[in-house]
């Protein structure tokens, strides 16, 4: 009888915990939706709890253009090639004046208007920490283009993320950016699985490096990085 009572208490406790958790999620969803009503835009939101089970999703089925967010999976694909031995952090890459495309955001171009030679590590730094568009396209060329990034994502079971165009292509045609899309949950999963290094996605050196350059980003002071406690 005592065992039955204990089991019943555990089940009741679990039930009320789930109900409370769901109520909190519903309340937060309502608050976010009320904020979004005033915005003349379609906005996607996905929030995962630390247990990765309690989730909040708003407009999750929509394919949102990634714009510079695509630089994160591109960097992961490059680091994967480094881990395989196909590339190295110290490998030097020549950047010619022809690589320095006009009218695009590029600290590399600003610092080296006549071209330069940088290591892959430096280019990754510019691309992720400073959102360098030219650095992004140079990295894509190194690994064989956007198809290689897509293969990396597919091989690691990251679905609902599409990368079809580089920065140069997007700058030529506004609508091309919509070929690079992701759902909010898909991007959350990529971020969380990378943070947890699920299935040893990266070597320790590459793992430490990606989070170092993510933390050092100079473009997020008025976004999540600057607003979170």
Residue 73 and residue 91 in contact, taking contact as beta carbons nearer than 8 Å: no
Q: Which residues contact 156 (CB under 8 A, 6 or more apart)?
A: 193, 199, 201
In whole angstroms, give the CA distance from residue 156 to residue 186. Answer: 12
- Burial call 4-15: b when 16+ CB within 10 Å, e when fewer: eeeeeeeeeeee
In whole angstroms, give the CA distance from residue 133 to residue 81. Answer: 20
In whole angstroms, give the CA distance from residue 165 to residue 187. Answer: 18
In whole angstroms, give the CA distance from residue 78 to residue 103. Answer: 25
Which residues does the annotation mark as catalytic? 68, 167
Residue 158 and residue 186 in contact, taking contact as beta carbons nearer than 8 Å: yes
In whole angstroms, give the CA distance from residue 70 to residue 150. Answer: 11
Q: 67: alpha, beta or left, given left = phi > 0 and alpha = psi -120 to 50?
A: left
């Amino acid at each position: 009888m005592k065992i039955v009572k204990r089991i019943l208490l555990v089940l009741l406790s679990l039930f009320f915990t789930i109900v409370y958790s769901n109520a909190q999620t519903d309340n937060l969803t309502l608050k976010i939706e009320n904020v979004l009503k005033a915005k003349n835009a379609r906005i996607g939101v996905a929030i995962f709890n630390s247990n990765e089970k309690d989730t909040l999703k708003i407009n999750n089925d929509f394919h949102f253009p990634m714009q510079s967010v695509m630089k994160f999976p591109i960097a992961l694909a490059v680091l994967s090639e480094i881990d395989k031995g196909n590339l190295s952090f110290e490998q030097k890459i020549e950047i010619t004046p022809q690589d320095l495309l006009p009218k695009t955001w590029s600290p590399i171009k600003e610092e080296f208007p006549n071209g330069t030679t940088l290591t892959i590590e430096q280019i990754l730094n510019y691309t992720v920490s400073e959102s360098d568009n030219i650095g992004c396209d140079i990295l894509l060329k190194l690994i064989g283009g956007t198809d290689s990034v897509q293969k990396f994502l597919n091989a690691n079971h990251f679905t609902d993320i599409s990368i079809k165009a580089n920065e140069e292509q997007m700058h030529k045609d506004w609508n091309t950016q919509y070929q690079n899309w992701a759902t909010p949950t898909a991007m959350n999963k990529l971020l969380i699985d990378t943070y947890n290094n699920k299935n040893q996605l990266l070597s320790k050196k590459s793992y430490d490096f990606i989070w170092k350059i993510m933390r050092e980003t100079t473009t997020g002071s008025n976004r999540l990085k600057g607003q979170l406690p």
